[in-house]
Amino acid sequence: MPSQKQIARELGVSVATVSNALTGKGRVSRDVVDLVTARAAQLGYTPSAAGRALKTGRSGILGLVMPDITHPVFPDFAQGLEIEADARGYGILIANGRGTEAGQDNAIKQLIKRGVDGIIMIPRRGTRPQVPPVPMATISIASDPRFAVAANHRQGGRLAAQAILQLGHRSVLLLGDDSQSPVQIDRIEGMAEALEGQAEFQVQWTGDCFPDLADLHATGVTAVLTVSDLLALRVVTEASQSGLRCPDDLSVIGFDNLPLSTAVRPTLSTIVPDTAELAKRAIAYLDAAIRDDQDPPAPSVVDMTLRLRDSTGPAPQTATQHRRTSP
Amino acid sequence: MPSQKQIARELGVSVATVSNALTGKGRVSRDVVDLVTARAAQLGYTPSAAGRALKTGRSGILGLVMPDITHPVFPDFAQGLEIEADARGYGILIANGRGTEAGQDNAIKQLIKRGVDGIIMIPRRGTRPQVPPVPMATISIASDPRFAVAANHRQGGRLAAQAILQLGHRSVLLLGDDSQSPVQIDRIEGMAEALEGQAEFQVQWTGDCFPDLADLHATGVTAVLTVSDLLALRVVTEASQSGLRCPDDLSVIGFDNLPLSTAVRPTLSTIVPDTAELAKRAIAYLDAAIRDDQDPPAPSVVDMTLRLRDSTGPAPQTATQHRRTSP
DNA sequence: TTGTGATGATTAAACGATTAATCAAGGATT
DNA sequence: AATCCTTGATTAATCGTTTAATCATCACAA
């Protein structure tokens, strides 16, 4: 591996001059700069990450802690983070919380050992990760004493509900699968908020058992708002098995815009989180904190957007009538 | 941050002694070892990654290059790799090939700049990644001049076909969505190989257009073997829209055991790659190569396994009769 | 008593880059 | 002509760890 020392020796100058020439600091004549850069390029010189990190105290690496890499939402996040980090000259080291709080804290410890400059944390729900000795950005739901950026799950819920209202639906099922998840609770609350006074609705959690869609449809339900695309997929296919057509008999909306949402027929309408923007803000904060800026960006919330596809349609006339006559 | 120097100063010994005591090398008395380790623990000492990397020439970090983090197959890989790497004391730095060959080579360059000890590469199909100055393990389809470990896609295809034969199906559609993908080609070839002489079959690629399942079913096709769960999902739901029941009228098998395969109704039968084993072998090879072992593990192929779920069933009697009478 | 060896610790150099401090030399100012 | 400033380069120290080489002590054998 070529080093500054080697370049210096070959050119008969000092290492300091080489360093100055390459970094643009200090005072070096135009000629020498050209000579050095030329030789560096010719030798394929790459500054040693270790050497630089040792001297500057910064590794240029950020750690990413996720509760479960396997969850289909995370690839999108990871991608956005990698792009943003790269744009600012950082690399991303992944760590696995392994689903437990202990694993999560251990992951932080591992990252610190490896000398990361900052940590991006997607905390396991209900945990308070230990405070690391480096800046940390939390991507989560609840506002945090430390910096946090979050998707506006409640607003996303409202968006889904408003779409369904606009299509004329007046009896809606709100469906979650984990009544303990703050994210899901926020999404459902947003839906309920927008539906309040505009339509009948009921909330169900599949934790115990999956609702009987045929029954519900018989009582007038024409739309199901779910907290995730996986759940929406379940609804669409379960409905199909019960002889219900989607969106003719039942409109469905999911969350997160997973790849599957365009692979299933009908394609799934979904509420899509702006992962790119979330990543951008998290990295921007970390970068500012690491560089010790006076005013790093403040914690913030990012709105979600609606993508209508084939799983939603106007409320069926018959069902609407049924609802009107049933009470 | 506490350093060996600080411990040495506080204890009135030399840094070398501290280093020796902590690493177990050199000659240090039992007493001093205890003293040093105690003080280190008390101070919360963590060896500086940069310092160590600079001296030893090894960063303890592996780079992972993937063509597209967003693809649903990769999280599983990444997870397996992270676990295996961690077990051997390595961290994993992610890089994004951004789908292009140039991006892929650039990713390698970035990783080298960051001082990784080795690279795990999942190459974009049809590309030959540049040879980096560190060991590289390729997880792919084709055998490679360098080390490579691959899932046995052909055997996976046979597995799917054999399962369908055993269920009595005698007319099968093999469905891919990218006729250029070596992985898909291998899978389809494996299916064809096992079906040859045992059943009628035809191959179709959805690149151009999606096949009319009702038509096919009318001509006697009772099973569809696809190259991915996403495609299987498409088939199952498309069939349902055409009024075909799965598995009653049509059996379907996918590939990769994606999370969606248990969320859809019917749940998807699938061929599952042993990502844990693939990861294990890739990391084992890299570790050996980095430590300059005499005989690093040889390139190898890992068999896939079959997981039968609800999307497959016995061939319908009527359809079988239909096929027998139709020619 | 004088070597000989083992033991436990220290010294010093090295990894590669950065940076403050220093120095030499020439040009401009008074 | 003496002084001052600017320019372009070098010296030397430093980051934290590892490791070969050295050294001092003490025990033991000849």
- Write the pLDDT tens digit of every residue in B207-221: 878 999 999 999 999
Compute CA distances A276 → A85, A272, B241, B323, whole Å.
11, 11, 35, 52
Contacts of B260 in chain A (CB under 8 A): 72, 230, 233, 258, 260
Query: What is residue A277's predicted lDDT score, i.e. its pLDDT?
Result: 95
The reply to whether CATH 3.40.50.2300 applies to domain B61-152+275-302 is: yes
The nt closest to B57 (CA vs C1′) is C15
Residue B169: phi and psi, rounded to 5, are -75, 140
pLDDT digits (tens, 9 = 90+) for B237-293: 999 999 999 999 999 999 999 999 999 999 999 999 999 999 999 999 999 999 988
Mutation target among B4, B59, B77 for the A interface, most CBs of A within 10 A: B59
CB contact under 8 A, B82 and A61: no
Query: What is residue B145's predicted lDDT score, i.e. its pLDDT?
Result: 56
Name the residue with tokens 């040792």: A54
Chain A contact present for B76, CB below 8 A: yes
Contacts of B91 in chain A (CB under 8 A): 93, 95, 110-111, 114
The reply to whether CATH 3.40.50.2300 applies to domain B153-273+307-325 is: yes
Taking residues A72-81, what's their average pLDDT? 88
Comparison of pLDDT for A16 and B73, the residue scoring more: A16
Mutation target among B240, B250, B267, B310 for the A interface, most CBs of A within 10 A: B240
User: Taking CB atoms and an 8 Å cut-off, how many pairs form between chains A and B?
Assistant: 152
Taking residues A130-158, what's their average pLDDT? 85
The band of A142, judged by pLDDT with boundaries at 50, 70 and 90, is low
Contacts of B61 in chain A (CB under 8 A): 93, 114
Query: What is residue B141's predicted lDDT score, i.e. its pLDDT?
Result: 62
Number of residues assigned to chain A: 327
Compute CA distances A191 → A141, A155, A156, A206, B284, whole Å.
16, 8, 8, 17, 49
Taking residues A91-119, what's their average pLDDT? 94
**C chain positions with any atom within 7 Å of a protein CB:** 7-12, 14-21
Taking residues A129-157, what's their average pLDDT? 84
pLDDT digits (tens, 9 = 90+) for B285-302: 999 999 988 888 888 899
CA trace torsion B180, B182, B186, B187 (10° rounding): -70
Q: Identical fold at A61-151+275-302 and A153-273+307-325?
A: yes
Number of residues assigned to chain B: 327
Q: What are the residue ranges spanned by the domains of chain B?
A: 4-47, 61-152+275-302, 153-273+307-325
Name the average pLDDT for chain A.
Answer: 92
pLDDT digits (tens, 9 = 90+) for B217-234: 999 999 999 999 999 999
How many C-beta atoms lie closer than 10 Å to residue B39's C-beta?
A: 18
Query: How, if at all, do strands B269-272 and B305-307 pair?
Result: antiparallel
Identify the CATH number of the domain defined by range A61-151+275-302.
Answer: 3.40.50.2300
Comparison of pLDDT for A71 and A254, the residue scoring more: A254
**For chain A, where are the E strands, in sequence order?**
61-66, 91-96, 118-121, 136-139, 148-151, 171-176, 200-205, 223-226, 251-255, 269-272, 300-302, 305-307
List the one residue out of A286, A317, A312 whose CA is nearest residue A299: A286
Query: What is residue A203's predicted lDDT score, i.e. its pLDDT?
Result: 97
Rg (CA), chain A: 26
